Amino acid sequence: MSGKQLVFIALGLFLIYGMFTVGAPFLLALILAISLEPFNRLLMKRARMNRAAAVTITNTLFLFLLMLVVYLMGLQAFAQLVEYWSKAPQYFKGANQFLQHTIIQAEDMLNGISPGLADSLTSFMSNISSYLESLVNTLSSTFLSFAKMLPNLFVTSIVFFVALYLFSFSLDTMRNSVLSFF
């Protein structure tokens, strides 16, 4: 391959990467604007509205529905997390008591058979206990990383909402511009 082809391939890959990372809200807004276009045309034809009014009504209704669904899902997830974390100490206390009781029973049973086997069972149970502690720590760090991600998600959502309105307002102009190339 020539150097020119390599440059075009690299530029194309960079643009694709950018479109699916930084440009994701714009790409999603464009796809959604195209998907909402039949409703815009229906309002323009049936209710005899201009494009700006039809787009504003359609996009606002869609965004309110989207925000309602996200709100209800977030509320449900938050309620489940609060319920889990309020009961988590009881779960871990019960699990710890069960493990200690099982270790004592196993040690009593295995002391008569083999002292080395009892030690290995004790180390196995302590490994399970440390695994459970690391699981709780991992869950806590996951929740913290999600909380750190919320401001970025908020900014991305605002960019998406604005892009959706702008793409919907100018979709006819963009379509005519793209078709003029052909």
pTM over 0.85: no
Domain residue limits at 23: 3-180
Dihedral angle, C-alpha 107, 112, 113, 114, nearest 10 °: 70
Separation of alpha carbons 92 and 146, rounded Å: 24
The 8 Å CB, 24+ separation contacts for 120-127 are 125/99
pLDDT digits (tens, 9 = 90+) for 117-154: 666 766 777 777 778 778 777 877 887 787 788 888 88
**pLDDT at 12 (0 to 100):** 86
What gap in Å lies between CA 17 and CA 167, rounded to an integer? Answer: 21
Q: How far apart are CA 87 and CA 95, in angstroms?
A: 12
pLDDT for the residue numbered 113: 63
Query: How many structural domains compose the chain?
Result: 1
pLDDT by residue for the chain (182 residues), tens only, comes to 788 888 888 888 888 887 777 788 888 899 999 999 999 999 989 989 898 899 999 999 999 999 999 999 989 988 888 887 777 777 777 777 777 777 777 666 666 666 666 667 667 777 777 787 787 778 778 877 877 888 888 888 898 999 999 998 888 888 888 888 88
